[in-house]
Amino acid sequence: MKFARQSFQPDWFGDYAINESVTSGTSPFNEWYGFDSEEKAHEELSLLDDLANPDVIVLAVGPNGRLMYYSSEDVDEDDVVSPGASPASVRDIVRAISRF
């Protein structure tokens, strides 16, 4: 994972398989992310464990046995993922992590 918190898009942004940003104008707190794959994004973002919006996205063990982020609507109070639920998109995860 490549990450930068700065006003403007970093030079490396766009060089990765998945590039996401959460921005607000030219705020110095704009966030820029680069990931090699969706699987790596889930893995690396799960290590942060500091969701700003935990009611939207939650970490849970999916049907594949991997710890991944899911919409809170797809996970019950016992952290069981609903059958057929898809992992959250990388965009949704970085927005849930962001202070914006």
The pLDDT value given to residue 79: 87
pLDDT of residue 37: 96
Domain residues for the domain of 63 are 2-97
- Residues of the chain below pLDDT 50: none
| Number of residues assigned to the chain | 100
| Nearest alpha carbon to residue 4 among 14, 60, 68, 49 | 14
* CB burial string 8-19: b at 16+ within 10 A, e below: eebeebeebebb
**Please, which residues have CB within 8 angstroms of residue 83's CB and are 6 or more apart in sequence?**
63
CA distances, 100 to each of 14, 43, 50, 90, 92 (Å): 21, 22, 14, 16, 12
Counted domains in the chain = 1
pLDDT digits (tens, 9 = 90+) for 56-68: 888 899 888 888 9
Residue 53 has a pLDDT of 63
Question: What pTM was estimated for this model as a whole?
Answer: 0.85
